[in-house]
Structure 1
Amino acid sequence: MADSAPVGAGSAPLPLPPAPDGILTVRGGLGGISFQFEELLRGVAQLDQLVRQLLAVEAETRRVQDELALSLYESYASGCEAINAVADSGKEVGRVRHELEAVAEAVRAGHRDYQKAETRNAYPGDFGAEQIGLSMWAGTLSRDITENLLSSAFPSGVDASDAVRSILGSPFLRGIHPRSVTAHSMGDSVEVIEPSMAQSMRRLESLHALGDGQIEIIQLDKNGSSAWMVLIPGTQPNSPNTNPFDIPGIGEALGYDSQHVAPAIAQALREAGAEAGDQVVAVGHSQGGAHAMNLSRNKAFLSEFDLKYVLTAGAPTGGITPEQGISSMHLEHAQDWVPGGDGRLPADTKDRVTVTLTNPVQTPEGQDPGLGPGHDLENYASGAERVSASEDPSLVASSAVFAGVVGAGGAAKVTRFKLEREPIRDPRTDARAPNLPENRSTAGAR
């Protein structure tokens, strides 16, 4: 007895989400559903070309039938046999063509359904009150619940950036309006650098601890040419209002595309020695991750530097769409609500990978929880080490792009720049108002 065909044999192929890699859940990249659909659609285009060729064959069989009809006057029996044979061949070609058309349409329909699902995921909708209550009882909102709460709070067509601009645009909030930012060199040094994703996270921790708006520019040698890494820290709440990474800085990152921070980073790169066309990797945590991703769509920055890669940790980046050809990886933790702070999921594309860490984490007893243990940079550094060791195809490919820019490491020039926001001016005297600390009640936030 012949073997039975497997269930689903002959039907249109369907992409499958990648299996979890330990505590890592991976979305996007070469193993992502979106890229699988791109490959399927590329196959559909080839099927369409084959269908056109088969249509031409069918037309040719009909032409041959018409010519053979003339032979009926000479030999009716043999002429009929020849005509019938050609007709049967034409029908078989037509049958195959119809099957190929059905497969192509099934793939297209699947792609349409996927796009609809992605749209729903971008605005996930309402979340149950019971789940929200349990999350609050646990002491923090999770990333998924935060995304759902915020996405359901906005009317159709409105997102977090619209809401931020609406709030910050109020004349009554003049003190937190985005203002011009300038970079000031704090000196440079030569250090032995390990330019891994994990060590980048740990260097960000040192920058954040300074609390004064400093970024770090690292000049890396690549076979005699230079590549550059920019490290951008997260929110620093206990600082003067001249620090662009204070709490109002979140508004510039999410609502104003880093319109003042991005030019300041470009200025810092120039002063550190970067030249037009040099390759750049940007790494940021929390608010700094949003600023880093905004570089990927800043036309002035991209016209000067070749931004190849953006690495973020615990950052709300779902509403930021980079220019084509720029790779990015977003490290998020299921217990970290901050990445869900814009109510959007990062897109699933070939060049964009989102890695969710799912291991349970707790704040050590006696330590300030800040924004929760999931948001801690050492937590993300440990996750980055797992990413580097993973064999997941999306992570392997994305990590290779990162490593291809930063190289193997070694002696490198490290320059720190302090970014300073223009002080608030008193409209009555047009004099600069004093630098006042803001939001001291949020100590420990990042």
Structure 2
Amino acid sequence: MAEVTPIGSGGAPHPMAPPPDGTLQIRGGVGGIAFQFEELLAGAAALDELHGQLQDIEREAEAVRQALFPYQADSYASGSNAVNAVGEGGREVGRVRDQLYRISREVRASHREYEFTEDLNALQLRAGLRNPALESGLRPDNFGKFSRRDVADSLVAQAPFIIGTLLGLPAAALGFATTIAGPMDVRATLKAITGMPGFGFLKPRPVTVEKSASGVETVDATMAAQLERLDTFGNNNTRGEIEIQEFNQDGIKRWVVLIPGTQHEDEIGGSNPLDEAGIVDGLGYDSAETNAAILEALHAAGAKAGEQVVAIGHSQGGIHAMNLSQDKAFLAEFDLKYVLTAGSPVGGIEAEPGISSLHLEHEQDWVPGADGLPNADTKERVTVTLTNDVATPEGEDPGLGPGHKLQNYADGARLVSASSDPSLMASTAAFAGVAGAGGVATVTRFKLTREPAQAQAAAPARSPLPETRSGAGPR
């Protein structure tokens, strides 16, 4: 753990943000500030317990010193020396106890200051008093370099304040209102839009699953290779497909699920559940329909309850993949161990304990900031921001920008795997522990199809606790 104060100096250790590793900016994980504080606070609690034990030793030493007084006259020199030695020992214990108490108090004070600063920054952001992306771009050492990801994050978070300003509302009242209301809730907003007249086509509908292809292949299971594989099949002519890989080593099966990003269709809300309306399913409805289909596809591929799964997704696909980490029906069936996302807005999704995740973002990619929420800084969750300059090749469709291209994220994943940063080493080890090095795998593609709107309208109402199409229980 990084420390400002050198070991042995007697000063309290303080966490430090992980330094950049080349073009990788790292947040979270075992080297993240939040986990460093967890360790320090646990250490402070241990120091408090030791402080109490030393107090007891001090009392015992003082009792021994006083018990020696009657014997001092028997041999004044040796008796006095014994009394003095016990007294000095007790005082030394007291000095150590005081030092431990001071260190514990400073660690707790440092944590309180950290929490206060984080809360103050969030308060100023809600009130529209801060724009981190603008502040970063105006620094002398970074003049004019704006992170599109941070700009999107700031704009979405401050959307109520910005809209109110455009409408001419008083700044004081607007600042108070937005401070109380908090940043824009993208999830609630998307869900509300689907209930508005004329926008019902965005509301998620049941998704059917059909096997489209299956075969045995040699698969490279590294992060970079899996993202490149996702790039290849996610951008081909077949639409609405996911891929499931089955690795069988010594009779133990492990599964990898690849979910592509948004596939643009002429009809939004049509048969392809991975079109633009799929974003509403992911951010507004926790991917309820899409993830039910993924659960069914795993069953159809032969996965059994309790087997380990890795979920990998790009853009919208990353939203669905991360939503699996909090889907109680899915987690009741399978042991989801790891989620890898690339260019996905997943700051509002909190994984269940024990699930590791790595989120690749690029500062030139605005999509990861589209939900207005930063990813949590925890031991099991690592966010890597790529800062290398990227550009769209001449004559190529820029799409959502060069920063959002999967190949750029695959290149970043290679740097992550080669990094010696402790957070990245721990995260990549967790990934490899499930996915392994790859090898021969059974690869199955599944076509997902969103049911027609009219079919849903004619269908009978669902019971409060419907069974999944696989018969796995409520979802």
The answer to whether the 8 Å contact 1:212/1:239 transfers is: no
Cross-structure match for 1:344: 373
The answer to whether the 8 Å contact 1:189/1:413 transfers is: yes
Deviations 1:219-249 (A, max 9, x none): 1122332111100011112155122111121
Aligned residue for 2:187, secondary structure, equals helix
Q: Distance in 1 between matches of 2:71 and 2:253?
A: 78
CA RMSD in angstroms, aligned pairs only: 3.1
Q: Which has the higher contact order (CA 8 A, sep 6+)?
A: 1
Q: Distance in 1 between matches of 2:52 and 2:323?
A: 44
Q: Distance in 1 between matches of 2:442 and 2:198?
A: 44
Cross-structure match for 1:224: 251
Supply the AA of the counterpart residue of 1:366: G
The answer to whether the 8 Å contact 1:121/1:345 transfers is: no
Aligned residue pairs, count: 424
Cross-structure match for 2:163: none
2:230 pairs with 204, 209, 212, which one? 204
The answer to whether the 8 Å contact 1:211/1:236 transfers is: no
Cross-structure match for 2:131: 127
2:217 pairs with 191, 194, 203, which one? 191
Aligned residue for 1:260, secondary structure, equals helix
Supply the AA of the counterpart residue of 2:234: H
The answer to whether the 8 Å contact 1:123/1:152 transfers is: no
Deviations 1:136-195 (A, max 9, x none): xx9997001111122223544453223322333435422211222222211211111111
Supply the AA of the counterpart residue of 2:131: F
Offset at 1:69? 5.8
Residue 153 (structure 1) aligned with residue 180 (structure 2): no
Identity within the alignment, %: 54
Cross-structure match for 1:439: none
Cross-structure match for 1:92: 92
Structure 1 segment 53-132 matched on structure 2, within 5 A: 53-65=53-65, 67-68=67-68, 86-119=86-119, 125=125, 126-127=130-131
The answer to whether the 8 Å contact 1:122/1:343 transfers is: no
Residue 413 (structure 1) aligned with residue 413 (structure 2): no
Supply the AA of the counterpart residue of 1:306: D
Gaps of 5+ in 2: 139-143, 161-177, 460-475
Cross-structure match for 2:314: 285
Q: Distance in 1 between matches of 2:286 and 2:308?
A: 21
The answer to whether the 8 Å contact 1:132/1:145 transfers is: no
Supply the AA of the counterpart residue of 1:283: I
- Point out the more displaced range, 185-194 or 313-322: 185-194
The answer to whether the 8 Å contact 2:35/2:378 transfers is: yes
Q: Distance in 2 between matches of 1:133 and 1:27?
A: 20
Offset at 1:87? 4.3
Offset at 1:410? 2.0
The answer to whether the 8 Å contact 2:134/2:151 transfers is: no
Q: Distance in 1 between matches of 2:363 and 2:155?
A: 15
Offset at 1:122? 6.5
2:149 pairs with 143, 158, 161, which one? 143
Supply the AA of the counterpart residue of 1:22: G
TM-score (norm 2): 0.81
Residue 164 (structure 1) aligned with residue 164 (structure 2): no
Q: Distance in 2 between matches of 1:139 and 1:38?
A: 34
The answer to whether the 8 Å contact 2:319/2:344 transfers is: yes
Offset at 1:379? 0.8
Q: Distance in 2 between matches of 1:29 and 1:129?
A: 24
Residue 314 (structure 1) aligned with residue 343 (structure 2): yes
Q: Distance in 1 between matches of 2:120 and 2:233?
A: 37
- Point out the more displaced range, 220-229 or 311-320: 220-229
Cross-structure match for 2:469: none
Cross-structure match for 2:165: none
Aligned residue for 1:13, secondary structure, equals coil
Residue 375 (structure 1) aligned with residue 375 (structure 2): no
Aligned residue for 1:425, secondary structure, equals helix
Q: Distance in 2 between matches of 1:202 and 1:239?
A: 26
Aligned residue for 2:199, secondary structure, equals helix
Offset at 1:85? 5.2
The answer to whether the 8 Å contact 1:123/1:148 transfers is: no
Aligned residue for 1:114, secondary structure, equals helix
Aligned residue for 2:19, secondary structure, equals coil
Q: Distance in 2 between matches of 1:73 and 1:163?
A: 86
Deviations 1:261-319 (A, max 9, x none): 11110100000010001110000000110110010111111111011110000001111
Q: Distance in 2 between matches of 1:299 and 1:111?
A: 33
Q: Distance in 2 between matches of 1:124 and 1:307?
A: 37
Aligned residue for 1:362, secondary structure, equals coil
Q: Distance in 2 between matches of 1:193 and 1:6?
A: 46
Q: Distance in 1 between matches of 2:261 and 2:420?
A: 30
Supply the AA of the counterpart residue of 1:193: V
Deviations 1:26-69 (A, max 9, x none): 11122222222222223223212211110111222343355456
Q: Distance in 1 between matches of 2:198 and 2:447?
A: 29
The answer to whether the 8 Å contact 1:222/1:406 transfers is: no
Offset at 1:334? 0.5
Residue 173 (structure 1) aligned with residue 202 (structure 2): no
Cross-structure match for 1:329: 358
Offset at 1:73? 9.4
Q: Distance in 2 between matches of 1:370 and 1:338?
A: 12
Q: Distance in 2 between matches of 1:379 and 1:124?
A: 34
Deviations 1:296-345 (A, max 9, x none): 11111111101111000000111111111111111100100001111111
Q: Distance in 2 between matches of 1:172 and 1:121?
A: 38
TM-score (norm 1): 0.86
